Amino acid sequence: MSVSIPYRKGLHEVGPGAFAYLQPDGGYGYSNAGLVVGGGSALLIDTLFDLPLAGEMLDTIGRAVPAARIEAVVNTHAHPDHTAGNELLPDAEIVASTATLAEMTQAASGANPIREILENWTEHGEAGEYLHEVMGRRFAAHRGREVLPGRGFDDELDLHIGATQVRLVRVGPAHTRGDVVAYLPAERVLFAGDIVFNRVHPIVIGAMVPGWLAACDRLLAWDIDVVVPGHGPVTDVGGLRAMAGYLRYFRDEARRRFDDGMDYATAAAGISLGEFDGWADQERIFMTVAAFYESLGARRQPMADVMTAAWRYRRARA
């Protein structure tokens, strides 16, 4: 089945009682969300990156489906571009995998090097310039307080929104340790979270790629017509195949250059983007290749150095 949902900001119906909230271009901070409506209640899947974005989404939902009350929220994983709007839903039950809950709890209680650079970006050279450009000037001033999920589950959890069955399935570790997808079997709709980036370069942790590939293979065995990715346009199972192809391609290209003794930055700059040229945030390949190198035994690169290399690459290709 081909999917022809326009990639425009806002709420789009992707199946009976199922909607995607899209945020082009899908790059840093601009994640997608999902909505399932039935019997006067609703389930929201992810809550975006900051309070203004989340508030705008909730206003849009309120106008489009005014009779549906959001009674439950799913955080597909721990990254703040999928959780920061939790604060605006105090009456909803927030659900996540226990691994995601643990990651969010740890992030809320510990030091956050990204946030520290963002808050003092002028003191961090080109790495600070990069983070300020892709996140800080758009989002950092509008972040609220961290609101953690109140309910965790380990493997699977079935929810019912009216007569609609929503299967929550933990498929991580993949993009993170606790990734969850939301699957509507009768409607053949998958809300994939960041298991799928469609036409957007992901940031990849090299050691977790086997799990990510296994997650893609697992989902490809399901009956799916529509895939709502965590970032990028709505797609079909072709988006799952493309994600798996992306991971295998950059894994293999990085390994070949690692075996040849090339340093990670030279390797990243020399990898042809091929069919992935034109995807948003292409400089993320520097983070990805550095992570692959580390998984192969190379020493961990300082975060600031990797971000500096990414920033220079981004500016050179602008």
Three-state DSSP at 318 gives coil
Residue 218 lies in a domain: yes
Query: Whole-angstrom Cα distance, residue 80 to residue 197?
Result: 16
Query: Whole-angstrom Cα distance, residue 143 to residue 140?
Result: 6
Domains in the chain, number: 1
C-alpha distances out from residue 35 to 90, 111, 123, 187, Å: 17, 33, 41, 13
Three-state DSSP at 199 gives coil
Segments forming the whole domain that contains residue 199: 10-252
Residue 265 lies in a domain: no
Ramachandran angles phi, psi of 182, nearest 5°:
-115, 120
| DSSP-assigned letter for residue 84 | G
| DSSP-assigned letter for residue 280 | B
Q: How high is the pLDDT of residue 142?
A: 57
Tell me the average confidence (pLDDT) per consecutive run of 10 residues in the chain, 318 residues long.
86 97 96 96 96 95 94 96 95 97 87 79 94 85 79 97 97 95 98 98 90 97 98 97 97 98 97 96 96 95 94 93
Residue 54 lies in a domain: yes
Residue 36 lies in a domain: yes
Query: Whole-angstrom Cα distance, residue 41 to residue 71?
Result: 6
First to last CA, the chain: 35
Q: How high is the pLDDT of residue 116?
A: 81
The CATH code of the domain that includes 211 is 3.60.15.10
Residue 227 lies in a domain: yes
Contacts with 191 (C-beta within 8 Å, 6 or more apart), sequence order: 20, 34, 45, 76, 181, 182, 183, 228
Query: Whole-angstrom Cα distance, residue 280 to residue 318?
Result: 12
Residue 143 lies in a domain: yes
Q: Across the strands, what pairs with 155?
A: none
Task: Please give the angle made by the CA atoms of 85, 88 and 94, to the nearest 5 degrees.
Answer: 75
Residue that has been written with the tokens 């390797």 in this structure? 267
Q: Across the strands, what pairs with 190?
A: 183, 227
| DSSP-assigned letter for residue 80 | G
Residue 296 lies in a domain: no
Residue 304 lies in a domain: no
The predicted model scores a pTM of 0.96
